[in-house]
Structure 1
Amino acid sequence: MLNQYLFKRVDNSALIVFRVLFGFLITVEAWGAIATGWIRTTLMEGEFTFNFIGLDFLQPLPGNGMLYYYGIMGLFGVFVMLGFKYRISIIVYSIMWSAVYLMQKSSYNNHYYLLMLLLGIMACMPANRYLSLDVKQNPGLKKISMPRWVYIVIIAQLWIVYTYASAAKFYPDWLDASMAAQLMLTKSNYWLIGDFLQLNWVHWSIAYFGIFFDLFIIPALLWEPTRKFAFIFSIFFHLFNSFVFQIGIFPYMSLAFTVFFFPSETIQRIFLPQKELYTAGEIIKPANYKLILVVAAIYFIIQIGLPLRHWVISDDVLWTEEGHRLSWRMMLRSKGGRISFKVVDKESGLTIPFDHTKMLSRKQQRAVGTKPDVIWQFCQRIKKDFAAKGKDVAIYVNCKIRVNDSKYHTLIDPEVDMAAAKWDYFWHNEWILPSPLNSSSETSNKYEVRN
């Protein structure tokens, strides 16, 4: 019964329209990064980037290499939009995008991770079977139908993202709207709406509209009686996010996904009036259908499990950042930090003057000042650089951070030699001092620093 449901053929209008929109948006993402200077500030300033731990070989191309890199990547986005050599084009874009995503954490964004997943998903989809140059070159590829599992995979992925995004907001600073107030405070200089965004009731509206929108938008789009209202709310929500938070293509990509929630007749009539509507409803199981089901099951088990991992790691993820990435924890907190490094020559016992700001861009300095994994990576980099000069050094970190509007507290144990410290990929790193966030008294951290 399940196989019949998943492999029943349905009209493919939504997938074809989404491929065109998706290709356009990933082209804008690539070429927009060049136009806005994002590449220069993120990948070209500083001596190196903070890659995902264990992927040290991923570093930006020298000189203007990354500008050409993104230019080529955008060209493959155009190919995806046109359906030209579709499978190759989207796989190449996916590899190039994933390499950049894993190459740097200074501009970490859950939406970048989502795009990496979507590129992989779309590479498995028969999205070039209509309205594509591939079909024009090879008419035998033309199809007006697709297996139903295409809908299921895309909707399930979106449901996971939105549900976890809602669940992550159930913590005190979000529920009392203070986090929303902090987010809006940085927008006070916005033309026309800057003062409006500072109103108390606006903060409460943002906080709770965000929770309930993320929690209910997918079910509301799936249910026919609420679909149109949910679509209107989606337009407002995503355009608001685009204007206020300026988060690139992702509000528009979220709107593009709504084509999968409307009846095929509606999508075909509006976007593809020349296309025949598929109604036969055949059930065609491919020879490797069991492998498809196993791969899909493993993928979604991982997607459901990854965002839960911070619950089995000691301490608060808002403080330690352990389990924060790949978990759909979006725009939940603000962090500020102050950091300095004490480098000691082990042979002489003398302190070596060291200014970390000379090695890092401003964006990297913000990451180094607040994120334990980045601090650890930087200490390993310092150690390596001094080793190249023939010196064996110990490195001690003085780092104080604040989460949201709390007091400053010491993040890293100042008595631990971070050059010798190990990184635990899966569990808590003991050189991160205990969080003061959930204690009855903020003085539980003996290294508290008052403002």
Structure 2
Amino acid sequence: MTEPRRRRVRGGMGGAFAPVSASSLGAFRALFGGVLVLLVVRFFAYGWIERFYVTPRFYFAYWGFEWLHPLPEAGMWAVFAAMGALALAVTLGWRSRASLAGFGVLFTYVELLDRTPYLNHYYLVWLLAWLLAAMPVDRALSLRRWWRARRGASLEPAVVPACTVWALRAQLALVYFFAGVAKLDPDWLFRAEPLRTWLAVHADAPVVGGLLATAGAAYALSWAGAAFDLLVGPALLWRRTRALAYAAVVVFHCATAWLFPIGIFPLLMVVVTTIFFEPTWPERVLAWTRARLGRRERRARRGPPRTPREPGVAPPLSIAGRTLIAVALGGYFAVQVLVPLRYTLYPGRVLWTEQGFRFAWQVMRMEKTGSVTFRVVSPSGAVRVVYPRDELTTFQRRQMSTQPDMILSYAHHLAREAGTGTAVYADAFASLNGRPTQRLVDPTIDLARQSEGFRPKGWIVPLATTPAARAERGGLASAQP
């Protein structure tokens, strides 16, 4: 590397590690922690701990993590109680990095137990928890800092490297971007599905119900949603459009929260998107609030009014330390770019095969229903029909019936229970985004002999797009078992 180029690289790294106010990172931590508390409370309040991790007799573990098993009932309740306590510590800013790491370990464990309750925003929570655990998130708006100041202990400068703020911005911008790319799909743009199906449910809503049920509304909202996801990231990054973009974020997510049952996702996105504002924004908001409350005169008697602090001076990182962090962030974001694109390596429509669907920000992309039964054939040729409802919960059965990899996992489970030499076949039918029902899995393939993993699953019947093709593949509704 030439000396001029070396200087440019050092200059770029210097900017990435330049000190900025720790306030926005502290606010991000506190707000994110509050959402984590709410997430855990919802699991307790809605009985999801028992529903997802106690009642099931079989769990759809992720490939490679079959060795993970749920704890006994009391243990699972203790896991969620611990997550709640750790989330509260994150919110308050007490030993936040250790608390985030602990929450990350427990939440990762819970998420890997079963594919059934997978949600995109749970994956985002998972990523953000681990990212924040590696950052100095206690340097502002934290109970730990307040306590140390009260005791007269030395305090770290209330600054953080700029790369911490930019890493969070990049993560969220990628979420929005890939959610937008996923919507550049014929079903979304040219059939207005699944929004047309979902909006019809609101036909009886006061005032706007009749409008929401129209095809025009479905198309308009589909195109607007795709445009929002693709443009909001750049708009948030550009200072001139940032305030307007954030207002759009609030309106968009409030609307989706009203229209669709998508849990904490809207609140989570409204909260975490604040990281796009200037690092001093919490200080400015606090100063503005104090002025609005009429405390200006009292502050004047005590001294000059407070203004947002300029970044202080933090101990400089060595070149080796900066390089290590840069390499780690580069590797992390390479994964964050490549993983959502892996579906392009598989044949067929990702919404149908679901190969590469998870962890790819395929947000609100499909309405898919299905049914499945299994034929278990013993070495002697005896055939036994297995109905998943006899063992699986209603939620597990509904999720499995449309997801080929879960159908395969359950077929392997049936084969293990039946013994060596058993063959397992699936009669699986599904409907995607309002299409007529068709076969999802080739009924002539012994699934017990098909391997799990990342290879293309040739036993998935391709999605038929014409009536003739659906009839040929046994996909008409009348062909259901």
* Same fold by TM-score greater than 0.5: yes
Matched, 1:173 2:187: yes
Contact in 2 for aligned 1:310/1:324 (Cα 8 Å): yes
Matched, 1:61 2:71: yes
The match for 2:226 is 211
Give the alignment partner of residue 410 of structure 1, picking from 427, 431, 439.
Answer: 439
Normalised by the length of structure 1, the TM-score is 0.92
The match for 1:96 is 106
Amino acid corresponding to residue 347 of structure 2 in structure 1: S
Identity between Structure 1 and Structure 2 (%): 30
Distance 1:379 1:140 in 2: 61
Matched, 1:368 2:411: no
Structure 1 residues 4-19: aligned runs within 5 Å: 4-19=14-29
Contact in 1 for aligned 2:23/2:141 (Cα 8 Å): no
Matched, 1:449 2:464: no
Give the alignment partner of residue 123 of structure 1, picking from 133, 155, 158.
Answer: 133
Give the alignment partner of residue 250 of structure 1, picking from 243, 262, 265.
Answer: 265
Q: Summarize the Cα distance change of 1:361–1:190 in structure 2 as closer, same or farther, 3 Å threshold.
A: farther
Residue 393 of structure 1: how far off its partner (Å): 1.8
Residue 392 of structure 1: how far off its partner (Å): 4.1
Give the alignment partner of residue 89 of structure 2, picking from 73, 76, 79.
Answer: 79
Find the residue that maps to 1:60 and give its secondary structure. Answer: coil
Contact in 2 for aligned 1:166/1:214 (Cα 8 Å): yes
Distance 1:187 1:316 in 2: 29
Give the alignment partner of residue 168 of structure 2, picking from 151, 154, 170.
Answer: 154
Give the alignment partner of residue 463 of structure 2, picking from 415, 435, 450.
Answer: 435
Structure 1 residues without counterparts, runs of 5 or longer: none
Give the alignment partner of residue 293 of structure 1, picking from 326, 329, 335.
Answer: 326
Distance 1:418 1:185 in 2: 38
Distance 2:106 2:314 in 1: 37
Matched, 1:41 2:51: yes
Residue 353 of structure 1: how far off its partner (Å): 4.5
Residue 5 of structure 1: how far off its partner (Å): 1.1
Matched, 1:143 2:157: yes
Contact in 2 for aligned 1:130/1:144 (Cα 8 Å): yes
Residue 93 of structure 1: how far off its partner (Å): 0.3
Find the residue that maps to 2:386 and give its secondary structure. Answer: coil
Residue 67 of structure 1: how far off its partner (Å): 2.8
Matched, 1:381 2:413: yes
Q: Which of the pair has more CA radius of gyration?
A: 2
Residue 132 of structure 1: how far off its partner (Å): 2.0
The match for 2:5 is none
Residue 280 of structure 1: how far off its partner (Å): 5.3
Contact in 2 for aligned 1:73/1:93 (Cα 8 Å): yes
Q: Summarize the Cα distance change of 1:121–1:334 in structure 2 as closer, same or farther, 3 Å threshold.
A: same
Residue 90 of structure 1: how far off its partner (Å): 0.6
The match for 1:422 is 451
More deviation in 46-55 or 2-11? Answer: 46-55
CA RMSD of aligned residues (A): 2.3
Residue 339 of structure 1: how far off its partner (Å): 1.0
Distance 1:349 1:282 in 2: 74
Matched, 1:22 2:54: no
Distance 1:258 1:323 in 2: 26
Amino acid corresponding to residue 167 of structure 1 in structure 2: V
Q: Summarize the Cα distance change of 1:249–1:368 in structure 2 as closer, same or farther, 3 Å threshold.
A: closer
Distance 2:313 2:114 in 1: 46
Residue 415 of structure 1: how far off its partner (Å): 1.0
Normalised by the length of structure 2, the TM-score is 0.87
Distance 2:271 2:473 in 1: 50
Give the alignment partner of residue 338 of structure 1, picking from 359, 362, 371.
Answer: 371
Give the alignment partner of residue 123 of structure 2, picking from 97, 113, 117.
Answer: 113
Distance 1:259 1:338 in 2: 43
The match for 1:355 is 387
The match for 1:313 is 346
Contact in 1 for aligned 2:373/2:385 (Cα 8 Å): no
More deviation in 175-184 or 92-101? Answer: 175-184
Residue 48 of structure 1: how far off its partner (Å): 2.2
Matched positions, count: 445
Q: Summarize the Cα distance change of 1:271–1:53 in structure 2 as closer, same or farther, 3 Å threshold.
A: farther
1:279-306 deviation line (CA, Å, top 9, x unaligned): 4577933451111111111111111111
Residue 427 of structure 1: how far off its partner (Å): 2.6
Residue 94 of structure 1: how far off its partner (Å): 0.5
More deviation in 318-327 or 37-46? Answer: 37-46
Find the residue that maps to 2:68 and give its secondary structure. Answer: coil
Matched, 1:222 2:237: yes
Structure 2 residues without counterparts, runs of 5 or longer: 1-10, 291-305
Residue 194 of structure 1: how far off its partner (Å): 4.6
Find the residue that maps to 2:109 and give its secondary structure. Answer: helix
Contact in 2 for aligned 1:9/1:284 (Cα 8 Å): no
Q: Summarize the Cα distance change of 1:430–1:115 in structure 2 as closer, same or farther, 3 Å threshold.
A: same
The match for 2:294 is none
Amino acid corresponding to residue 336 of structure 2 in structure 1: Q
Contact in 2 for aligned 1:436/1:445 (Cα 8 Å): no
Q: Summarize the Cα distance change of 1:429–1:444 in structure 2 as closer, same or farther, 3 Å threshold.
A: farther
Distance 1:133 1:228 in 2: 30
Q: Summarize the Cα distance change of 1:154–1:342 in structure 2 as closer, same or farther, 3 Å threshold.
A: same
Distance 2:33 2:359 in 1: 24
1:334-393 deviation line (CA, Å, top 9, x unaligned): 1111211111111x2111343321110011111221111000100111112223xxx642
The match for 1:399 is 428
Amino acid corresponding to residue 81 of structure 1 in structure 2: T
Residue 87 of structure 1: how far off its partner (Å): 1.6
Find the residue that maps to 1:129 and give its secondary structure. Answer: coil
More deviation in 400-409 or 37-46? Answer: 37-46
Contact in 1 for aligned 2:280/2:308 (Cα 8 Å): no
1:296-347 deviation line (CA, Å, top 9, x unaligned): 111111111111111121222111110111111111111111211111111x
Residue 404 of structure 1: how far off its partner (Å): 0.9
Distance 1:434 1:196 in 2: 35
Distance 1:230 1:355 in 2: 50
Distance 2:61 2:349 in 1: 23
Contact in 2 for aligned 1:319/1:435 (Cα 8 Å): yes
Contact in 2 for aligned 1:144/1:278 (Cα 8 Å): no
Residue 100 of structure 1: how far off its partner (Å): 1.4
1:162-202 deviation line (CA, Å, top 9, x unaligned): 11100111111110223211122344566775544313332
